[in-house]
Amino acid sequence: MDLTSTVLLDGLVFPECPRWHGAKLWFSDVHAHRIMTVTAAGHPDTAFEHDGQPAGLGWLPDGTPLFVSMLDRRLMRLDGGIARVVADLSGLEKVQLNDMVVDVQGRAYIGCFGFDINRGEQPALASVCCVMPDGRALVAAEGLRFPNGMVIAPDGRTLIVAETTGRCLTAFNVTDDGALSGRRLWAQLDTFPDGICLDAEGAVWVACPATASAAACARAAR
């Protein structure tokens, strides 16, 4: 596969958690405290400015945007330009929240840090939490090694999560009630996976920040 890359937008502080939605690329510029969009032609816009650090993005079935507020460990929704709390996850995660994926039922799956990387703590196992459409929050899976980017297969039955310090992609079955079961290795990697996305063929594209090239990525297919 012959691929080339171009710079779409620069001058950002710490862009994370990209999602394609409504003919635009959405992402969180974490340390600039803002959620941004950019068109395929490279035209940027600030969708929302947040006092905290925004991270994972997703949308409810009615199109309402959701975002993760990392440090205060909350799931937020944007309602007429105002951020409102959907769920407080501080009782489920002691440090920070991370990336997120939202399924077609409106269930939000959110990765947790599990350890304070900014203070040099040793990596510890962490959880994936699930926030139901009614705001109930629960631990959906435990014992993951820094769960980071996540995707859900088009049939809604498989969730794939990048375990960054585990150097792998891990898959779960998504049951009718939103629970995760049947944990299994989806792909073993020789790098540290970060954000991930699915392509039209069902392969997973993986951002690989800890490589010789800061722009490196990999494609994992089954």
Report the C-alpha gap between 61 and 103 in whole angstroms.
8
pLDDT given for residue 56 in this prediction? 98
Cross-sheet strand order for the sheet of 204-207? 196-198, 204-207, 217-220
Q: What does 51-78 look like in DSSP terms, one character per residue?
A: SS-EEEEEE-TTS-EEEEETTTTEEEEE
pLDDT given for residue 39 in this prediction? 97
Q: Which residues of the chain have pLDDT under 70?
A: 1-3, 211-215
Is 5 among the domain residues?
no
Tell me the residue range of the domain where 181 lies.
15-220
Whether the CB-CB separation of 208 and 192 falls below 8 Å is answered with yes
Is 161 among the domain residues?
yes
* Rg value, the chain, Cα: 16
- Residues near 143 by Cβ (< 8 Å), separated by ≥ 6? 125, 127
Is 136 among the domain residues?
yes
- Residues near 214 by Cβ (< 8 Å), separated by ≥ 6? none
Question: What's the CA angle centered on 178, arms 194 and 170, to 5 degrees?
Answer: 30
| Residue 119: φ, ψ to 5° | -100, 10
Of 201, 135, 193, the residue nearest 161 (C-alpha):
193
Please give the tally of structural domains in the chain.
Answer: 1
pLDDT given for residue 154 in this prediction? 86
Is 10 among the domain residues?
no
* CATH, residue 156: 2.120.10.30
Report the C-alpha gap between 32 and 28 in whole angstroms.
9
The pTM assigned to this predicted structure is 0.94
pLDDT given for residue 219 in this prediction? 84
Q: Average model confidence (pLDDT) for the chain?
A: 93
Is 2 among the domain residues?
no
Is 54 among the domain residues?
yes
Whether the CB-CB separation of 112 and 127 falls below 8 Å is answered with yes
Whether the CB-CB separation of 165 and 142 falls below 8 Å is answered with no
Q: What is the pLDDT of residues 62-89, one digit of tens each?
A: 999 999 999 999 999 999 899 999 999 9
Of 163, 171, 100, 172, the residue nearest 131 (C-alpha):
100
Is 4 among the domain residues?
no
Q: What is the pLDDT of residues 102-114, one digit of tens each?
A: 999 999 999 999 9
**How many CA atoms, within 13 angstroms, populate the side-chain half-sphere of residue 180?**
27
Cross-sheet strand order for the sheet of 108-112? 97-102, 108-112, 126-131, 137-144
Is 135 among the domain residues?
yes
